[in-house]
Amino acid sequence: YQPLIDEMATFMDKEHHAKPLLAFNVDDDTDARHTVLCPFDRRVQVGSVQWTSADQAAKAVDAAWSAFPRWEATPVGERAEIIRRLADLMETHMAELMTLCSREGGKLLTDGVAEIREAVDFCRYYAVRAEELFGESTPLPGPTGETNELILGGKGVFAAISPWNFPVAIFCGQMVAAAVSGNTVLAKPAEQTSLVAHRVVELLYEAGMPRDVVQLLPGDGPTVGSILTSDPRITGVVFTGGTDTAQIINRSLAAREGAALPTLIAETGGLNAMIVDSTALPEQVVEDVIQSSFQSAGQRCSALRVLYLQEDVAERVIEILKGAMDELRVGDPRDLGTDVGPVIDDDARRGLMAHIDGLKQEGRLVAEAQLDPTQTGNGTFIAPTAFEIDGINDLEREQFGPILHIVRYRAADIDDVIESINKRGYGLTFGVHSRNESFAEYIAEKVRVGNVYVNRNIIGAVVGVQPFGGQGLSGTGPKAGGPHYLLRFATEKSLTINTAALGGNASLLALEDD
């Protein structure tokens, strides 16, 4: 990491200013600026962002529609080439992007590197898949006298609404998937991480993307987000974030008078569980639990929230877990010795503290990591905590932070445990720890989730290898980083030609003969 850290130092003190990147010129408007503060030191101003106005957003939709036919007609090889150049540029600008991920998003160095690699992987994977899917039409069987084929095209204008927890990877993954499939894109980054998104879109333009094909609309959800989702000209929305917000978007899309039926691709929250039976290796369990619950300060939708321990192993696992949590170092994300960085902002911290205080008052605390105020005094830090609860139904909603809930279960009750998890309605990630292969297989088959992991941690899905996404309250599918993802961004056109009309045999007669 040292060469990267040295290079990052050259960007550390720079203030960044971002504004909407639209098909037309946008004046600097000093009144509409939003200040970005650093999560690990709220005294530091990282930069400022100019929000998109309602008028600019409407004009951006016009420009996106004008650009759509030309972009859709651009050969997929050319579209994919631009995306590949973006991947190369992100690699050469790694230190600068990392600096922004760290200062604006509070990311650890290790998380930042993984994040930018994931963005690069999304670009290269979708470029290949687009060429496979959109390159040539698929011939279909049919009666003599006619030919049939299936042709894929773009759908129109997509709004891409992305979260702050993966401000490069998910931001990029959505935007690139929509664009490489032949759609024009209005990307709204999370308000907390607009600076790094702005830099990525600048690199995308440098890679050759026309400015009217992808536009950046920074702003907050209630204004820019709702302008986009209520505009009847938006063909589809690709969204990653909370389940509540996905439901608001869904209602807003459905309420549009006279609009074409929309596409909503949503990847939302989870109450992700892990089941540990009596044959599991306690040390390995704890290592994987610590990573799954506390890496990225628990701010991943894939993070572990509810750990089910079979009663015979519970004491042993909890004892080792307590020891491991005592060792966690919470602090400055730029320091390589740090295990857990800050949560994103004051609002997030307040919400998590309310949950923690409530469970503490009920006397449910099992373990709590230590905070060193000289390290954490100026930032939005939360000490990782573990609580014991009775079951997944004790949790009203996902808590997006470093909080683990533990449930003890009896071996005879395993089917009830699985049923309660399935009934709760989320279905994102899930883990099993067991050396009993048939037990692990049985559980993996019964649980209704998107990603099952056996005898390992449950975060960090790899593009193209572990396609990521859930079902039920956790999302619509198809899975990001998977072979079917681009299909949701595409239209399918069947083309049937009666070749008899061109001099062959009449197709209907041929059918009757069969």
Residues lying near ligand UN1 in the complex (CB under 6 A) are found at: 165-166, 240, 300-302, 459-461, 468
Rounded least distance, CB 133 to ligand UN1, Å: 22
Rounded least distance, CB 299 to ligand UN1, Å: 7
Closest CA to 382 of 327, 321, 330, 324: 330
The CA distance from 459 to 301, in Å, is 9
Pick 342 or 460: Cβ nearer ligand UN1: 460
Rounded least distance, CB 347 to ligand UN1, Å: 18
Closest CA to 292 of 276, 277, 304: 304
Q: Catalytic pick from 38, 101, 172, 301?
A: 301
DSSP 388: E
The CA distance from 276 to 306, in Å, is 11
The CA distance from 40 to 333, in Å, is 8
The CA distance from 89 to 110, in Å, is 20
Pick 174 or 507: Cβ nearer ligand UN1: 174
Work out the number of other CB atoms within 10 angstroms of the CB of residue 225: 24
Q: Sheet holding 451-454: strands in order across?
A: 365-368, 385-388, 403-409, 306-310, 273-276, 429-433, 451-454
Strands 365-368 vs 385-388: parallel, antiparallel or unpaired = antiparallel
The CA distance from 107 to 297, in Å, is 9
Element (H, E) at 441: helix 437-446
DSSP 408: E
Is residue 444 within 8 Å of 344, Cβ to Cβ? no
Rounded least distance, CB 307 to ligand UN1, Å: 17
Pick 99 or 292: Cβ nearer ligand UN1: 292
Sole residue written with tokens 């650009």: 67
Rounded least distance, CB 266 to ligand UN1, Å: 11
Pick 265 or 461: Cβ nearer ligand UN1: 461
Closest CA to 175 of 151, 203, 142: 203
Q: Catalytic pick from 72, 146, 191, 267?
A: 267
Sole residue written with tokens 């044959």: 279
Pick 241 or 262: Cβ nearer ligand UN1: 241
Rounded least distance, CB 274 to ligand UN1, Å: 14
- Furthest CA-CA distance within the chain: 86
Is residue 385 within 8 Å of 367, Cβ to Cβ? yes
Rounded least distance, CB 395 to ligand UN1, Å: 18
Rounded least distance, CB 203 to ligand UN1, Å: 21
Is residue 182 within 8 Å of 133, Cβ to Cβ? no
Pick 154 or 482: Cβ nearer ligand UN1: 482
Pick 236 or 431: Cβ nearer ligand UN1: 431
The neighbouring-strand residues paired with 398 are none
The CA distance from 398 to 353, in Å, is 14
Measure Cα distances from 172 to 12, 198, 412, 492 in Å. Answer: 23, 11, 46, 25
Query: What tokens does 334 get?
Result: 């730029």
Is residue 445 within 8 Å of 432, Cβ to Cβ? no
Residue 301 annotated in active site: yes
For 455-468, b/e burial (b = at least 16 CB within 10 A) is eebbbbbebeebbb
Sole residue written with tokens 């877990």: 321
Active site residue ranges: 267, 301
